Structure 1
Amino acid sequence: MYNCSNYTEAWQWLSSLEPGYLGLVSIVGMVGNALVLCVLWLQRKPCTVADVYLSNMATADLVMMLCLPFWAVTISRGHLWSFGDTLCKLVNLAISMNYYCSVLFLMLVTVDRYLALAKPMSPSRLRRAAWAKRICLAIWVLGALLSLPVLLFRTVQYVEVAGVEACILAYPNQAWIVQHNITSIVLGFLLPVPVVTYCTYHIVAALREGRANGFHTVRRSERKATHLILAVLAIFLFCWTPSQVMRFLDTLDYFQVTRGCLWGLVLDIGIQLSTFLGYSNSAVNPFLFFIVGKHFRKRAKEVFRKIVAFFTKDASFLTVSFTSVNRLNDTQHISSVKLESLARR
């Protein structure tokens, strides 16, 4: 038989690892996503539809990374939330929005690759940057609406078991938990995944057809962009699928399909670990841009050259200005010495 007293020990062990992990993920993710946004925003060429979607996804990931340090500090202090009720709501609203927005942006960028490769001769408004920006705005609004319960029910309350003022999700009843899980599973997984799977199948078929024809039917730039999208998609599914599975099992637990102390421990720990694995996706994506995206690396080099040239130009200007001022001072000094010499004569 399993000893339920191990429940507390397991939580203490997990809590001891969480702050360091969240801190590392947030630092790596902030730096990586900031670099990605710099490259996409400062490039010379106009943004493509894929760039619009990827920049919005990087923005969502960056916002997520900015929120994780709050929880790293909170967990390290025994779940004591010391940032006030407003930040309790806003931080968790941003974290909740991140998943919905990221998966929908990824779905759209996969659809864009599908239209570019499988339907290259069929004009579509979805392949226009102006329409892509409007769609992104609609997704941000939708993500906020889907996360509205977090804004309403997240609050700082005293938790007697922990003995601290904690930032908790205080739903009026457990039915809200089921509704939240079902919404997340359906809109954040079951709906996008079939769309992504369908598009991916035809994308791979188009790439194979292009390879069989000597790459004449598929432009090289399109292939490189598609390889990057497929890599981002694979990592997303790897990082977030366990979390959705655990949400489904948590919903079954509400209906008491499964019972027992051991099952409760496995479910609670599994939800935590799978959630943190999902968070790491936001930190991994920038590395995929640089590792898989050869075209992106080329653009990154161009942007960094511009930045280096800009600062080098400023440094050269300051050096020349400083030298000119010194020469002027030296000339004035020599002139004053000559005047003094003449005056003495």
Structure 2
Amino acid sequence: MSNDGQGSWSTLNASLEDIATENGTDLLTPQDGFDYELSPYHIAKILIYIFILLISIFGIIGNGTVIWFLGFCMKRNPFTTFILHLAAADIGTLICLFPFSIINLLRSFLYLPPYMDKIVTLVYILFFFMYNTGQYLLTAISMDRCVSVVFPLWHRCHRPPHFSTLVCATIWIISFLLTAINLIASIFNILPYIIFYLLLMNAILCLPLMTVSTLVLFIKVYFRSQQRKKGKALTAILLALLFFLFLAFPLTCIYLFIFSPPFIDYNVGSVLISVGFLCSCLNSSINPLIYFLIGRNKRARSRESMKVILRKLFKEEENCSEEQEVPVQTQM
């Protein structure tokens, strides 16, 4: 097989094929001919992309519901501003994974025109745009919540009024600039290697901050009795952080592992990347479920609407902050 990446389903697979060719690994794709049997690797990828499609549907509905209620049905506060932007990044990730999975399923059985490679590459770049944005937003949320429990009075009184909006806007701008770099890299056929260094930078910067913030939140909430009244709101954030570390971050680990020497078998690497996409899909779909399960009243006999659950969950943070400020003002 030639090194021009022809027959690959994305720029990533093209680069995997190039490295595999250099290592003397022969591989077969659907475009090489249709008289072949599906290998266990192909079957595994087909099943994975089917799961991604099914999960994406529910995730898009869930995140869309959160965006609708927080954006149009509730008065926003600094906390819900972060959650709204996180839901937008998650739904963007799922929207990218949906056509990405469909194209890869079709490629397993049909011959698709060459221009589909360009479309897949574009979707691939947009996916990492949303993936990185969600990672940066969750890092910012974890640090903001960490400061709110460690220095509650300072966080309430000295925090700039539009701080959340400014942080979210800055994150979207940074992610957009990184995406522009990826677009330029795709022109010179070095996209996977640029993404490798971007993900490496993200792992070095975001993972330690997110891990430390998660530990601090866990200790302050569950081992300090005076903080237990804030359990619901912070529990939702803690769960979102933990699910990101266990579901979304593996894609970064897999990508860094595959493109670090020594290179593993192409088929194994391709399946691992698919598993990484599945984990990212699960992570982007699970946050609305977390909000629903944590925010609902388990003792209520009648079913609460999603709007009521979100209002109770996200208003809790604002109410608790006001309660913390009152005693201090009384002493003064």
TM-score by length of structure 1 reads 0.68
Does structure 2 retain, via aligned residues, the 8 Å contact 1:125–1:131?
no
Q: Which residue of 2 aligns with 1:107?
A: 139
Deviation at 1:270, TM superposition (A): 1.4
1:40 aligns with 2:70: yes
Is the CA contact (8 Å cut-off) linking 1:62 and 1:282 kept in structure 2? yes
Of residues 91-100 and 78-87 in structure 1, the stretch that sits farther from structure 2 once superposed is 78-87
Q: Is the 8 A contact 1:43 1:302 kept in 2?
A: no
Q: Deviations over 1:267-320 (max 9, x none)?
A: 23212212222222111221111112348x978343899xxxxxxxxxxxxxxx
- Asked whether the equivalents of residues 89 and 151 of structure 1 are also in contact (C-alpha less than 8 Å), the reply is no
Return the letter of the residue paired with 1:292: I
> CA shift at 1:35, angstroms?
1.0
Contact 2:143/2:213 (<8 A) preserved: yes
Matched-pair contact (CA < 8 Å) for 1:92–1:150? no
Q: Could you tell me whether the CA contact under 8 Å between 1:47 and 1:129 is conserved in 2?
A: no
* Residue 206 to residue 178, structure 1, CA distance change in 2 (3 Å): same
Shift of 1:146: 1.4
CA deviations on 1:56-75 (whole Å, 9 max, x unpaired) are 01001112222223223312
The range that moved more, 131-140 or 194-203, is: 194-203
How many aligned residue pairs are there?
270
Decide which of 98, 103, 121 is 2:153's aligned counterpart: 121
The 3 A distance-change label for structure 1 pair 300 and 86 is same
Aligned to 2:47: 17
Structure 1 residue runs without a partner (length 5+) = 155-169, 306-345
- Work out whether 1:274 is the aligned partner of 2:304: no
Matched, 1:50 2:79: yes
CA distance in 2, matches of 1:81, 1:49: 47
Larger RCO: 1 or 2 (CA < 8 Å, sep 6+): 2
Q: How does 1:71-150 map to 2 (within 5 A)?
A: 71-78=100-107, 80=112, 88=120, 90-123=122-155, 127-128=159-160, 130-150=162-182
Which residue is equivalent to 2:207?
193
Cα distance in structure 1, aligned partners of 2:210 and 2:55: 27
Counterpart of 1:93, as a letter, is I
Percent identity reads: 21
Q: TM-score, normalised by structure 2?
A: 0.70
In structure 2, the CA distance between the partners of 1:274 and 1:226, relative to structure 1 (3 Å rule), is same
- Paired residues of 2:82 and 2:164 also in contact (CA < 8 A): yes
**Residue 67 of structure 2: SS of its match in structure 1?**
helix
Letter in 1 for 2:306: A
Report the CA distance shift for 1:190/1:54 in structure 2 as closer, same or farther (over 3 A): same
Shift of 1:31: 0.5
**SS of match in other structure, 2:260:** helix
Look up the SS of the partner of 2:153 in the other structure: coil
Shift in CA distance, 280/82, structure 1 to aligned 2, threshold 3 Å: farther
Q: Rg larger in 1 or in 2?
A: 1
Larger mean CA deviation between 196-205 and 234-243 belongs to 196-205
How well do the aligned residues superpose, as a CA RMSD in angstroms? 3.2
